[in-house]
Amino acid sequence: MAKISIHQGHHLGKEEAHRRLEKLQVGLEKKYGVEVEWHGDEADIKASKLSGKIVVNEAAVDIDLQLGLALTAFQGRIRSALAQEVHLALA
């Protein structure tokens, strides 16, 4: 299994960063079939052949994903696309 870790700093504060990620979540659910379940400032991510966690802090967001074997070949593309989506959401 491959791992993807994304650390994105921000100057929005925890509440605004959380709000923006929730907006991003809707697009990810429609586009990729990703399910995100929030528990306060942390969320569990589930989809076919991947799982992970989002943690929203006052000045950064951390995303850690575990990719199933079938997605390992696409690790770079997945990381790049997700990092760009998160960066734009928190800009």
Tens digits of per-residue pLDDT, 15-33?
999 999 999 888 888 888 8
| pTM for this model (two decimals) | 0.90
Tens digits of per-residue pLDDT, 24-67?
888 888 888 889 999 999 999 998 899 999 999 999 999 999 99
Q: Are 63 and 54 in contact (CB under 8 A)?
A: yes
Q: Which domains does the chain have, with CATH numbers?
A: 2-86 (3.30.310.80)
Residue 6 has pLDDT above 90, yes or no: yes
* Cα dihedral 45/59/22/35 (nearest 10): 0
Convert 47-89 into a string of H (helix), E (strand) and C (coil): ECCEEEEEEECCCEEEEEEEECHHHHHHHHHHHHHHHHHHHHH
Q: Report the distance separating Cα 71 and Cα 78, nearest Å.
A: 9
Residue 88 has pLDDT above 90, yes or no: yes
Maximum distance among all Cα pairs of the chain, rounded to whole angstroms: 36
